[in-house]
């Protein structure tokens, strides 16, 4: 393992080098293989992880809690109602108190600045389990799934269809860092943040990747090796559902679009999926879908991140 990762935060993939991200991915694949072979990994025996949840979760909570258990440690679930942070205690105070009880913190919250402030004042590693801006652990699971299935990352083309949200942000940052060519199709008004795109373009120059931003789904998926989509309305955007449904109705990942991609293209979705909206039922249940393998890989890649940082 890369020793200089110990004690670091994992707030965004952009903070890590291409080599460091590959190291995490290779370790995650090793942990997965060995787990399937019945080998135990007590790499975090006696360690504790505090899991702060300001947002509801299925995959994040279960994968981190089970992952910590499999590594020999203990995960403590902390909801907004459990913490004084929900009653006005400053984040910086919570960070310094928890640093004296725990060995690591995972936070799933709304404002990215809250995760950054927590990391700034904590003396222990802070892992971003999701913010409104970024979802780096998901992006790592995505890369792991692609590497596992395709045997490489650099030179492949990934097409993302839909909202320029936290998943899209982290996916673009991760792919551009690792040399994947990315094409993103979003309707006008729902594009990714310019600051994120600028960072990704810097990484793309170094890795040799290309970035294409378009409003045309057909242009994005043409010849793509990986097709990726996400819900049209994320948590906190439910009131915009009708407006978003109208804007995104031509961005559904369906059989017709899949035919425009490479013959062996794989289909990814970070879940939860709204079948019949951003993805058709026949595609998510089809032979090219790796959606549930991708969901499983959240467990393995997060175990690698925790074991290397804590």
Strands (E), the chain: 48-53, 74-79, 104-108, 126-130, 157-161, 181-185, 211-214, 226-229, 266-269
Please enumerate in sequence order all residues whose Cβ is within 8 A of that of 196, keeping only pairs 6 or more positions apart, or say none: 133, 169, 172, 173
Phi, psi for residue 75 in degrees, rounded to 5: -110, 135
Q: Specify the long-range contacts of residues 5-9, CB closer than 8 Å, at least 24 apart.
A: 5/308, 5/309, 6/308, 6/309, 6/310, 7/124, 7/125, 7/309, 8/125, 8/309, 9/119, 9/125, 9/126, 9/127, 9/309
Separation CA 310–CA 291 (nearest Å): 29
Which active-site residues does the annotation give? Answer: 108, 135, 138, 230, 270, 298
Query: Sheet holding 104-108: strands in order across?
Result: 74-79, 48-53, 104-108, 126-130
Query: What count of other Cβ atoms lies within 10 Å of the Cβ of residue 36?
Result: 9
Burial classification of residue 276, based on how many CB atoms lie within 10 Å of its CB (0-12 exposed, 13-18 middle, 19 or more buried): exposed
The tokens for 127 are 């892992």
**Is the distance from CB of 277 to CB of 245 less than 8 angstroms?**
yes
User: Can you tell me whether residue 59 is helix, strand or coil?
Assistant: helix
């Amino acid at each position: 393992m890369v020793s200089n990762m110990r004690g670091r935060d994992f707030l965004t993939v952009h903070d890590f080098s291409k080599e460091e991200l590959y190291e995490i991915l290779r370790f995650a694949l090793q942990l997965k293989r060995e787990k399937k072979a019945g080998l135990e990994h007590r790499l975090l025996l006696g360690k504790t992880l505090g899991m702060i949840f300001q947002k509801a979760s299925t995959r994040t909570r279960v994968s981190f809690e089970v992952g910590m258990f499999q590594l020999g440690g203990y995960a403590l679930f902390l909801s907004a109602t459990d913490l004084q942070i929900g009653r006005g205690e400053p984040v910086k105070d919570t960070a310094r108190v928890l640093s004296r009880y725990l060995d690591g913190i995972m936070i799933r919250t709304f404002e990215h600045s809250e995760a950054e402030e927590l990391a700034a004042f904590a003396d222990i590693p802070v892992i971003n389990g999701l913010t409104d801006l970024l979802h780096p652990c998901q992006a790592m699971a995505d890369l792991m799934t692609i590497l596992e299935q395709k045997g490489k990352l650099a030179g492949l083309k990934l097409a993302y269809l839909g909202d320029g949200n936290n998943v899209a942000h982290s996916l673009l940052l991760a792919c551009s860092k690792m040399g994947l060519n990315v094409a993103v199709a979003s309707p006008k008004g729902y594009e990714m943040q310019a600051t994120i795109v600028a960072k990704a373009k810097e990484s793309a120059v170094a890795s040799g990747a290309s970035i294409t931003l378009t409003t045309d789904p057909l242009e994005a998926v043409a010849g793509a090796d990986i097709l990726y989509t996400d819900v049209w309305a994320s948590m906190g955007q439910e009131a915009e559902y009708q407006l978003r449904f109208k804007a995104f109705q031509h961005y559904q990942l369906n059989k017709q679009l899949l035919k425009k991609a490479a013959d062996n293209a794989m289909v990814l979705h970070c879940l939860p999926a709204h079948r019949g909206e951003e993805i058709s039922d026949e595609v998510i249940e089809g032979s090219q879908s790796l959606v549930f393998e991708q969901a499983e890989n959240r467990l393995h890649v997060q175990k690698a991140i925790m074991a290397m940082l804590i």
